[in-house]
Amino acid sequence: MTAKVLIHDPTLRDGHHAVRHRLEVDQLRDYAAACDKAGIPVVEVGHGNGLGASSLQVGRAALSDERMLATVREALSHSRMGVFMLPGWGTTADLRTALAHGADVVRIGTHCTEANLAERHLGFLRETGAEAHGVLLMSHMATPQQLAEQCALLVEYGAQAVGILDSAGHFLPPDVTARITAIAAAVEVPVIFHGHNNLGMAVANSLAAAQAGAGIIDGCARGFGAGAGNTQLEVLVPVLERMGFSTGINLYGLLDAADIAERTLMPAPPVTNSLSIVSGLAGVFSGFKNPVLDLAGRAGVDPRDVFFELGRRQAIAGQEDLIVDVVAELSARGEVRI
């Protein structure tokens, strides 16, 4: 029998990182409508860091959460609408708002060893009857067994699907295989994989995840996302189909949606450039790219040094203030570019 893989498209959420969270109504509506026509099962929308995250620290969005949700909900007739929330940025009130605006799938994300932070929010979602997923960020910082144990906790709290984000684009296929295999053996719900392309491995890693038992795979049009971007959706889907997995997505519709995304959402598709490679090697959150470039540029510090130092300190998403400290210390030591 052909194995089924559910495709989850966070283009309108993760892609916000690449344009400093400035997508407008027409952009959201047109891409969401194209996804709906193509039969993409889940279209995720929101600030790059999720519900409630629009702020000076990580960037103010051009639109409120409510406006983004209402716009995408109106554009979807068949596809489900997904949202993402990080405890600490978002609150139960933000979840209520998302559900009131028709969110069908809600993901709660935590650091890879801190699943307990999702307990209250997953419990709330369970009480409302919403479809709730739990995902672990920066998953290269934990062993396969640790991730399996954390995912089992997420299921205990009420998650109906669980999985990992390769937030730094650090994995190679064997790394993904080991982790997805361990998680799939520990839980009886669908397993999720979300890749980033810092080392050019996102499609290969996603295929490895599917082969190891992941039932939900993320991908973004033209890879539109933080840093070097995400798994390129219009490549991922036909590769999965060639390997015997069924996605139910119309190929021409998918390609049309990707063309719309390139034309209307981004100045240019993301590329795996020198800084992205360093970010992947260092194991640093891809969303740090813009603040690292800004702060290092003003101080005359080599951004590659900043990424490697952030990696040494095991910086995680939400610790953007640490970039300021690292840049200041490198500058004080005289490690500036001429």
Q: Residue 39, exposed/middle/buried by CB under 10 A (0-12, 13-18, 19+)?
A: middle
Pairwise CA distance, residues 120 & 260, whole Å = 38
Check: CB of residue 34 under 8 Å from CB of residue 77: no
Check: CB of residue 156 under 8 Å from CB of residue 187: no
Please state, as a whole number, how many other Cβ atoms lie within 10 Å of the Cβ of residue 152. Answer: 17
Whether 17 is a known active-site residue: answer yes
What's the half-sphere exposure (Cβ side, CA atoms, 13 Å) at 269?
A: 18
Among 8, 16, 17, 196, the one annotated catalytic: 17
- DSSP class of residue 16 equals G
Which residues, in sequence order, are CB contacts of 273 under 8 Å at separation 6+?
228
Torsion of CA 20, 24, 28, 30, to 10 degrees: -130
Residue 104 tokens read as 């069908």
Pure H helices in 213-320: 233-242, 251-264, 274-282, 289-299, 303-312
Enumerate the active-site residues: 17
